[in-house]
Chain A
Amino acid sequence: MNTAALPRWVVAAAVVGAVFVVLPLAAMTLRIDWPRFIPLVTSEGARAALLLSLRTSVSATILCVLFGVPLALVLARTSFPGRRFVRSLVLLPLVLPPVVGGIALLYTFGRRGLIGSGLASLGIDVAFSTTAVVLAQAFVALPFLVLSLEGALRTVGTRYEAVGATLGAGRWTVLRRITLPLVLPALVSGAVLSFARALGEFGATLTFAGSLQGSTRTLPLEIYLQRETDPDAAVALSLVLVVVAVVVVGVAHRVRPLGSLDPRGTASPKAPAAAPGRVD
């Protein structure tokens, strides 16, 4: 361990910070009722919530990719008046309280909302449905993908694209065969982050979609609800989400960082997998 370059108090503060993150998770794990763990996480309500969460989060991630990739491309590769303003607006859900997002969605897609009233007259009711869950999740998760991808597009630059164009490739070919493969690692890690954010979505979902078992009650909502009646179940389900989060972080880290575009192929070796386990 080499700490020579830093003042001791920085190291001490860092340790406190790390403990602050790890300790609550440990405290929660300690409270798990292991004998009842399996029955608790496989109860009907829990299974329904978990399946719903996975289904909606996957759908929301697909939506994020479908619309986030074009958004990131436009933000990174074009210039138009107000581009920076548009960019800030698109990234707003990142800092917006999710409840506010939920209310905003309600006034857009709700029965009396901007678009919702029109949809309602067609017999389509979005709010308080599984669709609403997906929309709420996509709303809060989209900026993660856009941010990650836009940064990667700027880092990669346009030089490879220019070479492709002079070699006779059309815009679509350049996008498909050069731009997207070059930013694929960032696209994957952005999508994984979006998925994680969608999976954890609570505030906007509760506000915009409600909490109906099987159709809108996702795992975070189920946990919140169970905490009132059966705290042991809430803790057990929380652990499930922690495990999913750990897997997601692992995947996002395994995806090669952008530095690996280095033509010599001498990018930093794979991050040592042993590191997180060591707390000394």
Chain B
Amino acid sequence: MPLTFAGALPERGFDVAFDLADGETVAVLGPNGAGKSTLLGLLAGLLAPSAGRATLGEDVLFDVGPGRRVLIEPRRRGVSLLAQEALLFPHLSVLENVAFGPRSRGLSRAEARATASAWLERVGTPELAGRSPGRLSGGQAQRVAIARALATDPALLLLDEPLAALDVTVAPAIRTLLREVLQGRSAVIVTHDALDAFLLADRVLILDGGRVVEAGRTMEVLTRPVTAFGARLAGLNLLLGRRTEMGFTGANGLVVPWEGPGRAGEEFALAIRPAAVSVARPGGPSTGTDHGAASGTSRVTAIVDDIEHRGEAIRVHAAGMAADLAPADAVAMGIVPGCAVEVSLRHQDAVVYALPAAPDAGRGTGRTGDGR
């Protein structure tokens, strides 16, 4: 079912609006305290907004404003919630857990059990039906929880970090299962893990401080982030700047010629992978991709702010960008925080794009319904 949502809860500094097309999955990301849980609580009906309106298909979930206060009870919303922990009812068997929803929605005991069995089959755990939840592994419990959440055939499925509590060895299988069952189903998935967004979601909604700061198709956010959080998620450098007569000028002074739409003075951004950024000591040999003085390269001189070790690379922060070097190169050049370096990038590695007009972080910016 298509979902429209606009809700505010001032005491939590929450004010978010977004739409979701029928059968689409949106991944909600953001730092702790960004309002992700509040969003789920409002959708599930466990929290009441101070103002706003949400509809799921033809049905109103809530409609609160001056002179009107419609709040549909959680059980009448057709919304299922799958949390980080499986939260299986400890006093009911696995089958009874899954049958709980259908039974509550008025099916007979036999029908509810048949539905439950079918779903246990679907999530690959039919042999667990008679077990007590206390005797399941984390992965088994989450499979059963998925079956329970879907057994009511919800019009909207809410997932609250469904893989966060699982073993790294189990998470991939559950992620695959979720990918299957989310096919063609409207779902909102709150996650910390960018991988969940890539694999499970059609769209991404990034919240910060209770506001939507970035929204769009997953692919778009991953290639053209507009916030630092989105860039970190995508593993990209985000360099903010402006369109100039000849191209793009970054806030750090980097000039990149670019031929594309846009008028001089407009806010633009440049995205590039840290591995594609080179660092050299002025006058010394450069590293990584040797850009040398080749054409199609831009460079800027800056002071190294910080150096960190990341897996197989040394990440150098300078000029508001990150560059990944081989450890040996970093040592050979004697790069330490505070030393001057020349940061360069090849134009072909960078993506230049316009930032959305008026980066108003408030309501309305979160509309993800229209793929630009």
Question: Is the beta-carbon distance between A168 and B134 smaller than 8 angstroms?
Answer: no
Question: Is the beta-carbon distance between B74 and A162 smaller than 8 angstroms?
Answer: yes
Question: Is the beta-carbon distance between B132 and A167 smaller than 8 angstroms?
Answer: no
In the complex where A162-B81, A262-B134 touch, is A170 in contact with B104 (Cβ < 8 A)?
yes
Question: Is the beta-carbon distance between B81 and A263 smaller than 8 angstroms?
Answer: no
Asked if B133 is at the interface (CB within 8 A of a chain A CB), the reply is yes
**Cβ-neighbour of A169 out of B80, B92, B104, B136 (below 8 A):** B104
Q: Kindly list chain B residues whose C-beta atoms are within 8 Å of the C-beta of A164.
A: 89, 100, 104
Shortest beta-carbon distance from B229 to chain A in Å: 28
In the complex where A263-B134, A265-B135 touch, is A166 in contact with B74 (Cβ < 8 A)?
yes
Question: Is the beta-carbon distance between B134 and A163 smaller than 8 angstroms?
Answer: no
Question: Is the beta-carbon distance between A263 and B88 smaller than 8 angstroms?
Answer: yes
Question: Is the beta-carbon distance between A167 and B101 smaller than 8 angstroms?
Answer: yes
Q: Number of A interface residues, CB 8 Å?
A: 22
The contact size tier of chain B is 20 to 34
> Which residue of chain A is the closest to B105 with respect to CB atoms?
A168
Consensus secondary structure, chain A interface: helix
Question: Is the beta-carbon distance between B81 and A163 smaller than 8 angstroms?
Answer: yes
Asked if A212 is at the interface (CB within 8 A of a chain B CB), the reply is no
**Cβ-neighbour of B104 out of A168, A184, A264 (below 8 A):** A168
Which of A60-68, A81-89, A173-181 is near enough to bind chain B?
A: A173-181
Q: Kindly list chain B residues whose C-beta atoms are within 8 Å of the C-beta of A162.
A: 44, 46, 74, 81
Question: Is the beta-carbon distance between A265 and B100 smaller than 8 angstroms?
Answer: no
CA distance A261 to B152 in the complex (A): 25
Q: Kindly list chain B residues whose C-beta atoms are within 8 Å of the C-beta of A163.
A: 81, 83, 87, 89
Shortest beta-carbon distance from B332 to chain A in Å: 52
Asked if A270 is at the interface (CB within 8 A of a chain B CB), the reply is no
**Cβ-neighbour of A168 out of B87, B88, B90, B152 (below 8 A):** B152
Asked if A11 is at the interface (CB within 8 A of a chain B CB), the reply is no
Q: Kindly list chain B residues whose C-beta atoms are within 8 Å of the C-beta of A261.
A: 90
Question: Is the beta-carbon distance between B89 and A178 smaller than 8 angstroms?
Answer: yes
Question: Is the beta-carbon distance between A166 and B90 smaller than 8 angstroms?
Answer: no
Asked if B75 is at the interface (CB within 8 A of a chain A CB), the reply is yes
> Which residue of chain B is the closest to A266 with respect to CB atoms?
B134
User: Can you name 28 A-B pairs with beta carbons within 8 Å?
Assistant: A160-B87, A162-B44, A164-B89, A164-B104, A165-B45, A165-B73, A165-B75, A166-B75, A166-B80, A166-B158, A167-B104, A167-B149, A167-B152, A168-B75, A168-B76, A168-B105, A168-B152, A169-B75, A169-B100, A181-B89, A181-B91, A182-B90, A182-B91, A184-B91, A263-B88, A263-B133, A263-B136, A264-B134
Q: Which 5 A-B pairs have the closest CB atoms?
A: A265-B134, A167-B101, A169-B104, A165-B74, A168-B104
Residues of A within 8 A of B (CB): 159-160, 162-170, 173, 177-178, 181-182, 184, 261-265
